[in-house]
Amino acid sequence: MTDKFLFIKSYGCQMNVYDSDRMKDLFINKGYKITNDISKANLTILNTCHIREKAVQKVYSDIGRIKKLKNDKKNMKLVVAGCVAQAEGIEIKKRAPTVDFVVGPQSYHKLPDMINKIEEPLNSDFLQNEKFKNLIYNSSKISSEFISIQEGCDKFCSFCVVPYTRGPEFSRPIDDIINETKKYLSNGVKEIILLGQNVNAYHGNSTDGKSRDLSYLINTIAEIDEVKRIRYMTSHPIDMTDSLIKVHASNPKLMPFLHLPIQSGSDSILKKMNRKHTVSDYLKIVDKIRTIRPDIAISSDFIVGFPDETDEDFEKTMKFIEKVNFVIAYSFTYSPRPGTPAQHKDNIDQSIKKARLSALQSLLTEQQLNYNKSFINKDMEVLFEKEGRYKNQFIGRTIYNQSTFIESNEKILNKILKVKITNSTNFALECQI
Ligand code: SAH
Ligand code: SF4
Ligand code: F3S
């Protein structure tokens, strides 16, 4: 029998990375080998993102390129999975007939059967429960592993596609998460990153049938000896409970890093965004967490040029950033998305959006640069996760989630080592043992 090869490309967030790993595991179980060379592939999966228009354009331009390859190589099948698949469904096949299968993020466990023609070639059902029960969890990672613990969103921010593409909020039972964690630990993994679009809304059942929150889950995972580090993302301000904040002080395995998107520093824009929190709610959370864990690293997401955003609103966002001082943040110009409440009013000029984004990013970069600089000559603990691009180069993460580069002749992969920081940029640190 000749080998069958799977090529898979992941777009968008870390939950898609996790899903891509699960799809790999499903097909490895069916005898496939994974390839990084698409020209070798019998099966190509594009695990797509719908969050901004640009992300969707990227997918269609990739499909265009793959179409040529498919014409030369008649036995390749093309799957569109992920959030574009969910949002556009059958429309994808109308626009790009070269696509053979379309499967959403909550039904991809059916993909092997779809390809074997046991199931229909299109599935966009929300089957969260069934999906997690039918996935295969074989990690290839050695030091740090993602685990999706929560899916979907019930918050319906007016700009966002996630509630439509990932479906309603769903939390996995605690036992399932612990079993998956143990599987990865047996490969030597030391760090567990708990994922969810609204991870701090987690409310999974424990074996006694009681619903438990994220702080309980973190403490339960931390009881396992082999787990050395725990992280979670992405959180929403309204679910940042006191019990979760407290774990940052009481549990040394929980890393001092919090990704907490706000989107805007203006209350009137937050209201139009349907964010359900104010700037002062956010600042209260920052105060509380910095009181009990002063060194906590806080990051965020921002959207500029949301409909009706005035210069004054934007100035409020800049002032807010100055006040909080973020260690890193992601920022985007507003992109109107089909099916969302805000889609019809995109009334800020592209040039204004770009100018605001550039001003905001300079401020954030400056904060990030200063933050990283403050670590020079200090000792830090770093978990080395992978090899770098150059010989003897390794890349790891500090407890504050900074990328850290090192040159070493020793075997340091998957070790947590105390290092001295020697240099820094806005996006990374350099160190020596
Ligand atoms: N669940 C996370 C965010 C998921 S999307 C949360 O609640 O914060 C990741 C980021 O993409 C968002 O935080 C937002 O900043 C950005 N984003 C989402 N929709 C967008 C849109 N229509 N235009 C521009 N940026 C958007
Ligand atoms: Fe989107 Fe808002 Fe839900 Fe985050 S909380 S996933 S931004 S709808
Ligand atoms: Fe994109 Fe879907 Fe993630 S829209 S950001 S891949 S949840």
Measured from the CA of 83, which atom of ligand 3 is nearest? 2
Q: Is pTM, for the whole model, over 0.85?
A: yes
Q: Which residues pair with 280 in a beta bridge?
A: none
Residue 142, pLDDT > 90, answer no
CA of 258 to the centre of ligand 3 (A): 20
Would 137-227 and 256-373 be classified into the same CATH topology?
yes
For residue 4, is it left (φ>0), alpha (ψ between -120 and 50) or beta? beta
Domain edges within the chain: 4-127, 137-227, 256-373, 379-432
- Asked whether 346 lines ligand 1 (CB < 6 A), one says no
Measured from the CA of 55, which atom of ligand 3 is nearest? 1
- Yes or no: domain 137-227 corresponds to CATH 3.30.750.210: yes
* Nearest-ligand number for the alpha carbon of 58: 3
Tally the C-alpha atoms within 13 A of residue 27's C-alpha that lie toward its C-beta: 26
Residue 74, pLDDT > 80, answer no
CATH code at 4-127: 3.40.50.12160
Q: Whose CA is nearest to atom 6 of ligand 3?
A: 49
Three-state DSSP state, 340: coil
Measured from the CA of 236, which atom of ligand 2 is nearest? 5
DSSP secondary structure letters along 147-206: EE-EE--S---TT--HHHHT-S-EE--HHHHHHHHHHHHTTT--EEEEE-TTGGG---B-
Q: Please give the structure tokens belonging to residue 373.
A: 């600089």
Summarised one tens digit per residue, pLDDT across range 27-50 is: 999 999 999 999 999 999 999 999
Q: Give pLDDT, residue 75.
A: 86
Q: Between helices 279-292 and 311-324, what is the axis angle to 10°?
A: 10
CA of 62 to the centre of ligand 3 (A): 17
- Asked whether 236 lines ligand 1 (CB < 6 A), one says yes
CA distance linking residue 32 with residue 231, whole number of Å: 32
Strands 101-103 and 122-123: parallel
Residue 139, pLDDT > 80, answer no
Which option is the CATH number for 379-432: 3.40.630.30, 2.40.50.140, 1.25.40.10, 3.40.640.10?
A: 2.40.50.140
Question: Which one, of 107, 94, 98, 64, lies nearest residue 79 by Cα?
Answer: 98
Three-state DSSP state, 54: helix
Residue 1, pLDDT > 70, answer no
- Asked whether 104 lines ligand 1 (CB < 6 A), one says no
- Asked whether 303 lines ligand 2 (CB < 6 A), one says no
Q: Which range, of 110-124, 137-151, 315-329, averages the lowest pLDDT?
A: 137-151
- Asked whether 263 lines ligand 1 (CB < 6 A), one says yes
DSSP-H helix ranges across 73-150: 82-88, 91-95, 111-115, 128-134
Summarised one tens digit per residue, pLDDT across range 280-301 is: 999 999 999 999 999 999 999 9
Burial (CB count within 10 angstroms: exposed 0-12, middle 13-18, buried 19+), residue 411: exposed
CA distance linking residue 121 with residue 143, whole number of Å: 36
- Asked whether 201 lines ligand 2 (CB < 6 A), one says no
CA of 352 to the centre of ligand 1 (A): 20
CA of 272 to the centre of ligand 1 (A): 15
Question: Side chain identity at 400, as an amino acid letter?
Answer: Y
Distance from the first to the final alpha carbon of the chain = 49
Q: Give pLDDT, residue 141.
A: 83
* Nearest-ligand number for the alpha carbon of 12: 3
Tally the C-alpha atoms within 13 A of residue 359's C-alpha that lie toward its C-beta: 17
* Nearest-ligand number for the alpha carbon of 337: 1
Question: Which one, of 18, 67, 70, lies nearest residue 41 by Cα?
Answer: 70
CA distance linking residue 244 with residue 259, whole number of Å: 13
- Asked whether 337 lines ligand 2 (CB < 6 A), one says no
Average pLDDT over residues 301-317: 98
* Nearest-ligand number for the alpha carbon of 159: 1
Q: Whose CA is nearest to atom 4 of ligand 1?
A: 197
Q: Give pLDDT, residue 73.
A: 77
Question: Side chain identity at 241, as an amino acid letter?
Answer: T
Q: Which fold has domain 256-373?
A: Transcription Regulator spoIIAA (3.30.750)
Question: Side chain identity at 217, as an amino acid letter?
Answer: L
